[in-house]
Amino acid sequence: MSDVAVIGAGYVGLTTSVCLAHLGHRVLCADIDEERVARLSKGEVPILEDGLPELLSEGLSSRRLTFVVGARQAAARANFVFLCVPTPQADDGSADLSSVEAVAREIAPVLRRGTVVINKSTMPVGSTRLVQRILGESGASIEEVRVASNPEFLREGTSVQDFLNPNRVVIGCDDPSVAVRVSELYRSLDAPILVTDPASAEMIKYASNAFLATKISFVNAIANLCEAVDADVREVALGMGYDQRIGFEFLHPGPGYGGSCFPKDTAALRYTARRAGYAFSLLDGVVEVNRRQHERMVEKLTALVGGELRGRTLALWGLTFKANTDDLRDSPALVIARRLLDAGAHVRAYDPAAGERAGAIVPGLEIVSDPYEVCIGAAALSVLTEWDEFRWLDFDRVRDALEAPVVLDTRNLLDPGALRRLGFTYEGVGRS
Ligand code: UDX
């Protein structure tokens, strides 16, 4: 059992904290937001994440998990300090490391001998050495305090599962004995552990996300081509997926990827490539296909309602960037809603988890709390997030509420045959 501090109680920090406590470690999780710390200390989870409430209450009642305000207090007692603070996208596309740097400066003077500081948030190549340098400059002894990169590969919505059943654990450190100490934190997990130099560990994270984004843009491009040649992208993806070198995962076409990772991490990797003098045109293309895919959904909807959006009422189902999360960051649904509003449409939306917050972010977007109400008098309905509940609604009721029975299903979630039998005009992505 180790004493662990986790700095940052966001998606990554919170998941890391509850899971490490579940694995038997004593965890102090710090955040600067006093209200968040107070709520977490009472067992209230501020985000929608499967399994998190249960592990939070387990951690609190076993007393292995405690929340505090401020990084110093947490770091002073730890053998391992996980940095889980945000690394948002700066204007030039690079990852903004100012929170990481500030925390490193803050904790440096209080770190104990032998403590390992672990970069968990996604940070660009060079960040392990940067944190080591800042700690040294700010009062920590370079010989006594070491830094390792240990990137997370958590998907929102399934982050607890992903943490406890990882495909791999990556640890990047110049000193193998430090890497071994970090690996012991994960001893009870059944996963391959890969120890590398810091730069390679940092690159593994970016390369993995960029590759997954590439798969999505690739299948979106194939879907668009399928529409032109009357093929069905679902059959194509299935036929490709049986090839084990390709696999079935991440071949679902849609409105383009979004979320807190892929857009930001692809931008940061493009920035890294530019700085390194490498023309990463493949990645440029991936990002451009994704941007175009959002626009393509707006164009499809425009065509479905007869070419003019001004003055039309449009109904949207789903606003989060994917299902089973309440995260709206870089959600394609919000990009599409804004475009529709800019074109003069009246846009009304329903989302099972994040409607109210979306209404506060997108001026002019009307939010309702019922999937049928959203359809009343609308010229078309568009499914923007693949929430399972949308499959099981009463489509007779939906048809009767709409002004015209027109559906744009950007997630290929619904059954086109069944909808057409009910009198709908149905359009998906990459299939007729
Ligand atoms: C991703 C990575 O999967 C995870 O390993 C990393 O740590 C963080 O980024 P996340 O952003 O939670 O996780 O979501 P993910 O399930 O990967 O989906 C990302 C985006 O791609 C979503 O907008 C999703 O709708 C889209 N997507 C995913 C597709 O359009 N098609 C697919 O086949 C898969």
Report the DSSP pairing between strands 3-7 and 26-31: parallel
For the full predicted model, state whether its pTM sits above 0.85: yes
Range 33-38 contact pairs with CB under 8 angstroms and sequence separation of 24 or more:
33/9, 34/69, 36/9, 37/9, 37/67, 37/68, 37/69
How far away, in angstroms, is 162 Cα from ligand 1 center?
A: 13
Query: Would residue 202 count as lying in a domain?
Result: no
Query: Would residue 79 count as lying in a domain?
Result: yes
Q: Specify the number of domains making up the chain.
A: 2
How far away, in angstroms, is 101 Cα from ligand 1 center?
A: 28
Edge-first strand order for the sheet with 366-367 is 366-367, 346-350, 313-317, 380-383, 406-409, 425-427
CA gap 321, 4 in Å, rounded: 32
- pLDDT of 142 reads 67
Query: Would residue 295 count as lying in a domain?
Result: yes
Domain end residue (candidates: 140, 169, 196): 196
List pLDDT tens digits, range 31-60: 999 999 999 999 999 999 999 999 999 999
Rounded to the nearest integer, the mean pLDDT of the chain is 97
Q: Is 261 a catalytic residue?
A: yes
Q: Are residues 33 and 156 in the same domain?
A: yes
List pLDDT tens digits, range 251-292: 999 999 999 999 999 999 999 999 999 999 999 999 999 999
The first and second tokens of residue 27, run together, are 């965890």
Q: Given the CA of residue 255, which atom of ligand 1 is nearest to it?
A: 30
Q: Whose CA is nearest to atom 6 of ligand 1?
A: 153
How far away, in angstroms, is 321 Cα from ligand 1 center?
A: 9
- C-beta of residue 406 within 8 angstroms of C-beta of residue 389: no
Query: Would residue 211 count as lying in a domain?
Result: no
Report CA torsion sign: 117, 118, 119, 121. Answer: negative
CA gap 291, 414 in Å, rounded: 24
Q: Are residues 423 and 359 in the same domain?
A: yes
Q: Are residues 429 and 280 in the same domain?
A: yes
Catalytic annotation, pick one of 19, 84, 226, 261:
261
Q: Are residues 190 and 241 in the same domain?
A: no
State which of 161, 216, 293 you would mutate to test the pocket of ligand 1, scoring each by most atoms of that ligand within 8 A of its C-beta: 216
Q: Whose CA is nearest to atom 13 of ligand 1?
A: 155
Q: Cβ of 344: how many Cβ atoms within 10 Å?
A: 11
- C-beta of residue 36 within 8 angstroms of C-beta of residue 69: no
Question: 171 lies in which domain range?
Answer: 3-196
How far away, in angstroms, is 177 Cα from ligand 1 center?
A: 34
Domain end residue (candidates: 171, 196, 221): 196
Q: Given the CA of residue 153, which atom of ligand 1 is nearest to it?
A: 7
Q: How many CA atoms lie within 13 A of 17 on its CB side?
A: 37
| Burial of 51 per CB tally in 10 Å (0-12, 13-18, 19+) | middle
How far away, in angstroms, is 384 Cα from ligand 1 center?
A: 15
Q: Are residues 192 and 236 in the same domain?
A: no
Amino acid in the structure at residue 88: P
Q: Given the CA of residue 411, which atom of ligand 1 is nearest to it?
A: 30
Q: Are residues 179 and 321 in the same domain?
A: no
Backbone phi, psi, residue 141, to 5°: -85, 125
Q: Whose CA is nearest to atom 21 of ligand 1?
A: 257
List pLDDT tens digits, range 391-423: 999 999 999 999 999 999 999 999 999 999 999
CA gap 125, 269 in Å, rounded: 9
Q: Are residues 20 and 162 in the same domain?
A: yes
List pLDDT tens digits, range 62-100: 999 999 999 999 999 999 999 999 999 999 999 999 999
- pLDDT of 141 reads 77
**Does residue 188 register a pLDDT over 70?**
yes
Query: Would residue 137 count as lying in a domain?
Result: yes
Q: What is the 3-state secondary structure (H, E, C) of the chain?
A: CCEEEEECCCHHHHHHHHHHHHCCCEEEEEECCHHHHHHHHCCCCCCCCCCHHHHHHHHHHHCCEEEEECHHHHHCCCCEEEECCCCCECCCCCECCHHHHHHHHHHHHHCCCCCEEEECCCCCCCHHHHHHHHHHHCCCCCCCCEEEECCCCCCCCCHHHHHHCCCCEEEECCCHHHHHHHHHCCCCCCCCEEEECHHHHHHHHHHHHHHHHHHHHHHHHHHHHHHHHCCCHHHHHHHHHCCCCCCCCCCCCCCCCCCCCHHHHHHHHHHHHHHHCCCCHHHHHHHHHHHHHHHHHHHHHHHHCCCCCCCCEEEEECCCCCCCCCCCCCCHHHHHHHHHHHCCCEEEEECCCCHHHHHHHCCCCEECCCCCHHHCCCCEEEECCCCHHHHHCCHHHHHHHCCCCEEEECCCCCCHHHHHHCCCEEECCCCC
Query: Would residue 217 count as lying in a domain?
Result: no
- C-beta of residue 226 within 8 angstroms of C-beta of residue 236: yes
For residue 265, what is the domain's CATH number? 3.40.50.720
- pLDDT of 140 reads 80
Q: Are residues 304 and 380 in the same domain?
A: yes
Q: Given the CA of residue 259, which atom of ligand 1 is nearest to it?
A: 11
State which of 261, 297, 319, 410 you would mutate to test the pocket of ligand 1, scoring each by most atoms of that ligand within 8 A of its C-beta: 261
Q: Are residues 8 and 116 in the same domain?
A: yes
List pLDDT tens digits, range 286-345: 999 999 999 999 999 999 999 999 999 999 999 999 999 999 999 999 999 999 999 999
Q: Are residues 36 and 96 in the same domain?
A: yes
For the packed helices 262-276 and 198-229, what is the interaxial angle rounded to 10 degrees? 110
List pLDDT tens digits, range 338-359: 999 999 999 999 999 999 999 9
Query: Would residue 203 count as lying in a domain?
Result: no
Q: How confident is the model at residue 169 (pLDDT cuts 50, 70, 90)?
A: very high
Q: Are residues 186 and 240 in the same domain?
A: no
Domain end residue (candidates: 141, 172, 196): 196
Query: Would residue 206 count as lying in a domain?
Result: no
**Does residue 157 register a pLDDT over 70?**
yes
Q: Are residues 256 and 186 in the same domain?
A: no
- pLDDT of 242 reads 98
CA gap 384, 255 in Å, rounded: 7
